[in-house]
Structure formats: C-alpha cells, structure tokens
Structure 1
Amino acid sequence: MPEPGAGPRRSPQGVPYTELPHIVNADGQHLFCRYWEPAGPPRALVFIAHGAGEHSGPYNEMAQRLKELSLLVFAHDHVGNGQSEGERMNIKEFQVYVRDSLQHIDLIKSRHPDLPVFIVGHSMGGAISILAACERPSDFAGVVLIAPMVQMSPDSVTPFKVFVAKLLNHMLPSLPLGSIESKWVSRDKKQVEAYDTDELNYHGRLRVSFGMQLMAATERIEREIPSISWPFLLLHGDADKLCEIQGSKMMYENVASSDKKFKIYEGGYHALHHDLPEVAESVLKDVTSWITERLPASTTPQQQGL
C-alpha cells in the first residue's frame, strides 16, 4: 500500500481526484460532484440529493430538464457512494450526509449569492433534504421530495425488532442485513436492468449499523415535522415498497407549511422519476413546473433584456 500523500487521492474506481470535479468534506474525504450549468445566467440553484446505494449519475435527465430552464443544477455522490471516498454504505452518523450537502450548497451559493436555492431529494436523499432544510429553513425557496424516507416501514420498527437491532448494533455493527431489492425500484424492466448493471450502485447487503443510522434519521424527522414551514412538493407512489407512502402522508398532514403539495402516483414504485415512461415524464413536468412557479418574477424580464 502506498503511504498517504505518496500520490494523488483516487476514487474507488481508481481515477485520481485531480481529474474529477470534487469537493473535500470536513473529514477530508473527497466527494465526486456533477454540475449542469445553463448557457446564460442562472435563475436559481438546484441541489439534488440521491438515495441510498445509488449515485448522482441517474439524475442526469432531470438535471438537463432543469438546466434548460436556466437553472444551475449540482449534485455529489454521498460519502461511501458512487465515485466518492468512504466505506461503502456505512456512515458514522447520518448528519454527515446533511453536513456535506449544506457545505456543497454554501459553496455554490457563495458564487451566486442572490439566487434562490431549491433541493430535490429522492428516498434517503429526501431525508437528507428534509433535515438540511430544517437546519436552515430560511435558506431554501423550496424542497422537492420524491418518495422520501420519512418513516421506517412499520414492519421493521416493532419494539422487539428495535431492541434486537440496538443489541446487534452494539455487538455486531457490521452484521449484514438484507440488500435493496431492485425489482421494487421501478415497474420499467429496462430501468431495473440499468440499476442492476450500474457498477456505481451498491449491490451488497446493508449493515445493522447503517440501518440504525436510517432509523435515527427518521426519528429526527418525526420530531421536526410540526415545525416545518418551508414550501415543498411531495411525490410518492402508492405501491412503493422501499419507502412506504405512510411517512409522506404523515408529513403532509402534520407540517405547518402553507405552500405544500402532495401528489400520489397510483401503482407507482419507488423511483418515480425512473418508473414507467409516462410516469417518469409526468414527474419531470411536476418537478420543473413547481420549481419555475416559485422563481422570483423579477428574474424573467432581466433574462429577456440581456
């Protein structure tokens, strides 16, 4: 093994970070970044937070659509995911994801201080987005949540299971649990195949310690819900078996937000933006129109006057 500092830091795929767009987080870990910049001056900033075990690449289509509307879109692979450093799918605490996302947002905001900021989060990325917006409620013009992880499945959090999980986490934190079943990601077989063959996705089993971090994150969200007053769009499929819709319903009904919208996709699976083509298209339209409706009106005449 080369000594640290003997050569450039490399991604898990072996590419030197000097050749990749990246940021370095507070723990000194390199996070791979993606940027979709419009040709002209941007009207707003949009940060995309991907879900557990995936990476920022599959959000290209959504990002391109937003970029076409003169929005500057950016994302990174969370620690331990995709082309970022870190132990695969293991985290010392969930807050690291939130902290890193806010760091990236602050960086891009420092270059465009007058622009409104939106977050789009899917699945675990939805939980990250909720907690980031709760930490900085006045910083965000709106949050888009696609099948967010708001509650753990009721089957997985019976008091006995929680007791056993905590015991195992103490004794055997790296004990493997089940893996993410790709057949529940989408009703489109091509999308499931793409998920399965994407080498940047994590296809292994989850650990007890990671499951405990997800549980802790949902407990935090549940405590925060009554104080949430920021604008949000919530999209969820009622056949989602990975992040059940009950959490989204509970969130929608109990927040203090006056600007909130909840759309249920009948029969929709987990990754609605990659579900059946007509559903995926509808999701893209929902997301782009919701964000553009919340852009400051004053930016449009300026754009036309340039």
Structure 2
Amino acid sequence: MPEPGAAPRRSPQGVPYTDLQHIVNADGLHLFCRYWEPADPPRALVFVAHGAGEHCGWYAEIAQRLKELSLLVFAHDHVGHGQSEGDRMNIKDFQVYIRDSLQHIDVMKARHPDLPVFIVGHSMGGAISILTACERPGDFAGVVLIAPMVQMNPDSATPFKVPHYVHSFSQLRQLSYSTDISFFLSRQVEAYDTDELNFHGGMRVSFGMQLMGAAARIEREIPSISWPFLLLHGDADKLCDIRGSRMMHENAPSSDKKLKVYDGGYHALHHDLPEVAESVLKEVTTWITERLPATTLQEPQGS
C-alpha cells in the first residue's frame, strides 16, 4: 500500500493506476488488465496471454467474439509490456510471466468458482500458456495456441526465426521490432509500428536467454501434456518455428489435440488477411464452445 499522501503509481504512459484496471503481482508491480464481460451470466472464463513486445489490446477482436458467446475474457499486459510496470520487454525469470498468469486466473476463479477455464496464447504468450497449464494440468478445460513459441529454430540464435544475418546474441541488440520483426509479424505492419504501447526497441541478450530457457522447458514438458489443445500455425511464419507446433502435436499424449496449418499464413494469424483472420476466429470460438460442459450448452439462449 502506498504511504499516506504519496503520489499514486502511474503507468509507463503516465496514467495513475487508480484510473486503470489492474492487479498487483507478487513483486509489487502493477499490471494493467482488460476484461470483456458478457451481458448474460458467463459460461466459461478465457484468459488471453499476449506475445512479446505487444499488449493485450491486440486481442480485442478475439475477446469480443468470445464475449458474444457469453464467455468472460480477461487479460493483462505482462510485466514490462504495454501499460504494466517493469523493465521494458525484459524479465529476470520467465517464470514470472507464468506466476502472474496464475495469479490473475485465481482472482477470476474466485469470483466464478464453478466455471471452466480456457487459455488463449499467441507467440511468447503461447509458451506462457503451455507452461501455465503444465503447472496445473487439472485446472484447464483447454488451451488454444496461435503460432506458439515451442521449439528452438536451429538456424537462429533465438526461439524466434529472425533475419538470416543475425548470427549471434550481440547482433540481437541491433534487431529492431519496428524495422524487422513487425514486417514478419502480420499483414498489419503499419498498425503495429504506430501503436505506442508496443515495444519498438531491440531484443536484449538476457531476454533472448529467457526465451531459450522457456523453449527448452516446454520440450521437456510435452511428453506429459494431457490437457486438450488446439494449435494454429502459418507455414510462412518467420518468427516462431512451425516445427515446434508439429512436434508438440505429434508427441503430446493428450487424447484431445488438433493442429491446423494455414498455407502462407504469417506469425499473427489473427491479424492476417481477412479470410485467414476470420477462419482463426471461427476455429477458436468453435473449439472452445464445443468443450463447454454439456449442462452449460443446454442453457436456453436469451432467457
């Protein structure tokens, strides 16, 4: 708690957290939160984990579609991202992302204790989602992964595919999200570059090391994954290796798993060409609603 008379904590953009929806994590950092609450009683909870360098506002369209199906969607900007506190796109331990996700999920579960919980994660958020579900495999009704960071790309120094001229961690310092990665991210390059809440600097060596460690941990966890999951990946993804998704789909022992590959799809499939983005939205919403408890599905609509 701030001392009496102390100035309120402010977001990196200068907005007092008293004016923003937020949670405070175990390190005392304020994390900006978004909630998409349906008008009717919610049928499930859906936590969204965004990717590296971006923020949870980029998932409004997916969240809105799920909200229209009476699902309560919630998300936060990870530490060091968007409107949350913390060193910009840097982390002392990747586990912090997982810990914070579980904290937020627990807050929402306490408010809605009888609802099934799903996770939707993209890119680094996919890695966060996988490891979060692995920590509590019995807690989640399903996990949706859009171009997740699963496997190391043997041709580069990071779990992301990066331009061929980047051969070492020292060169990663010069790799700018605004000039390189956004080009490969999605078709909406200008929107990404002009969004002031996105991170537009270079990737730090320490951050790359944390990503590498997370990918290695995921590879160790895959043989024990039993929870349902949906994998969506574009075969033109230049950032996260599609071979990781294929490996996870093949090797995870889950009895409920699906991989859909989009020919020519970029990294951010939900912001790809209109027909691709629409297909992704339908896949996500259909897959989740098909896994709601039967009693939930039988509730009359509009009553």
The TM-score, its normalising length taken from structure 2, stands at 0.92
After superposition, the Cα gap between the structure-2 partners of 1:148 and 1:51, relative to the gap in structure 1 and judged at 3 Å, is same
1:58-77 alignment runs, 5 A limit = 58-77=58-77
**Does residue 205 in structure 1 map to residue 206 in structure 2?**
no
Displaced runs of 4 or more, over 2 A: 3-6, 300-306
For the residues of structure 2 that align with 1:239 and 1:274, how far apart are their CA atoms?
A: 14
2:230 to 229, 233, 240: 233
Q: What's the CA shift for 1:5? A: 7.2
SS in 1 for 2:91: coil
- Cα deviation, 1:176-196, whole Å, max 9, x if unaligned, reads 25233111011x3xx111001
SS in 1 for 2:232: strand
SS in 2 for 1:264: strand
After superposition, the Cα gap between the structure-2 partners of 1:5 and 1:244, relative to the gap in structure 1 and judged at 3 Å, is farther
SS in 2 for 1:223: helix
Confirm or deny: 8 A CA contact 1:22 1:30 kept in the other structure: yes
Q: What's the CA shift for 1:46? A: 0.2
Q: What's the CA shift for 1:108? A: 0.3
- Cα deviation, 1:95-142, whole Å, max 9, x if unaligned, reads 000000000000000000000000000000000000000000000000
**Paired position in structure 2 for 1:245:** 242
Confirm or deny: 8 A CA contact 1:21 1:32 kept in the other structure: yes
Q: What's the CA shift for 1:270? A: 0.2
SS in 2 for 1:13: coil
**Paired position in structure 2 for 1:161:** none
The count of residues paired between Structure 1 and Structure 2 equals 290
**Paired position in structure 2 for 1:216:** 213
**Does residue 103 in structure 1 map to residue 103 in structure 2?**
yes
**Paired position in structure 2 for 1:6:** 6
**Does residue 268 in structure 1 map to residue 265 in structure 2?**
yes
SS in 2 for 1:137: coil
For the residues of structure 1 that align with 2:301 and 2:235, how far apart are their CA atoms?
A: 41
Q: What's the CA shift for 1:303? A: 4.4
**Paired position in structure 1 for 2:276:** 279
**Paired position in structure 2 for 1:93:** 93
Confirm or deny: 8 A CA contact 1:177 1:207 kept in the other structure: no
**Paired position in structure 1 for 2:128:** 128
For the residues of structure 2 that align with 1:5 and 1:228, how far apart are their CA atoms?
A: 50
Identity of aligned residues (%): 81
Q: What's the CA shift for 1:300? A: 3.0
Uncovered stretches (5+) of structure 2, i.e. residues with no partner: 159-167
Between Structure 1 and Structure 2, the one with more helix by share is: 1
Confirm or deny: 8 A CA contact 1:177 1:208 kept in the other structure: no
After superposition, the Cα gap between the structure-2 partners of 1:5 and 1:84, relative to the gap in structure 1 and judged at 3 Å, is farther
For the residues of structure 2 that align with 1:267 and 1:85, how far apart are their CA atoms?
A: 36
**Does residue 194 in structure 1 map to residue 191 in structure 2?**
yes
**Does residue 142 in structure 1 map to residue 142 in structure 2?**
yes
Q: Which amino acid aligns with 2:253?
A: A
- RMSD, aligned CA: 2.0
Q: What's the CA shift for 1:157? A: 4.6
SS in 2 for 1:74: strand
**Paired position in structure 2 for 1:155:** 155
After superposition, the Cα gap between the structure-2 partners of 1:225 and 1:43, relative to the gap in structure 1 and judged at 3 Å, is same
For the residues of structure 2 that align with 1:8 and 1:53, how far apart are their CA atoms?
A: 26
1:156-171 alignment runs, 5 A limit = 156-157=156-157
SS in 1 for 2:175: strand
**Paired position in structure 2 for 1:256:** 253
Q: Which amino acid aligns with 2:69?
A: L
**Paired position in structure 2 for 1:114:** 114
**Does residue 300 in structure 1 map to residue 290 in structure 2?**
no
After superposition, the Cα gap between the structure-2 partners of 1:229 and 1:177, relative to the gap in structure 1 and judged at 3 Å, is farther
1:171-190 alignment runs, 5 A limit = 176-180=173-177, 181-186=181-186, 188=187
The TM-score, its normalising length taken from structure 1, stands at 0.91
SS in 1 for 2:148: coil
For the residues of structure 1 that align with 2:265 and 2:297, how far apart are their CA atoms?
A: 35
**Paired position in structure 1 for 2:163:** none
**Paired position in structure 2 for 1:54:** 54
Q: Which amino acid aligns with 1:178?
A: L
**Paired position in structure 2 for 1:26:** 26
Q: Which amino acid aligns with 1:126?
A: G
SS in 2 for 1:235: strand
**Paired position in structure 2 for 1:171:** none
Q: Which amino acid aligns with 2:265?
A: G
Q: What's the CA shift for 1:304? A: 4.2
For the residues of structure 2 that align with 1:115 and 1:149, how far apart are their CA atoms?
A: 28
For the residues of structure 1 that align with 2:134 and 2:80, how far apart are their CA atoms?
A: 24
